[in-house]
Amino acid sequence: MTQITYAGVTVDVNEEGYFTNPSQWTRDIAAEIAKEEGIVLTDQHYAIIDFLRSRHNNGEALSIRSINHSGIIDVKTFYQLFPGAPLKKATKIAGIPKPSSCI
């Protein structure tokens, strides 16, 4: 296990940089991770992050399809908010493990 410091807080991450202990996450940490990814978080970003964290906490599988059915945003907007690999980036910023559906 590796540790990284974000926003003055040391957190536990795996070899890919995903949190191994989601309870260590804060919005300040999210903003710092997002900045590293070239993203400035908006209310829309936080709505998706909150959705992902809630689904993770409930033990539900995370997928791009679930984002589309969330009623928060559509898939096209999700890709615009988290360009490149949206689900990977969003879950990393949300402080939760990378979904098994991501390679």
Catalytic site residues?
Answer: 102
> Concatenated DSSP letters for 66-94?
HHHTTSS--HHHHHHHS-SSHHHHHHHHH
> Concatenated DSSP letters for 6-58?
ETTEEEEE-TTS-BS-GGG--HHHHHHHHHHTT----HHHHHHHHHHHHHHHT
In angstroms, rounded to a whole number, what is the distance separating the alpha carbons of residues 18 and 100? 13
* C-alpha radius of gyration, the chain, whole number: 13
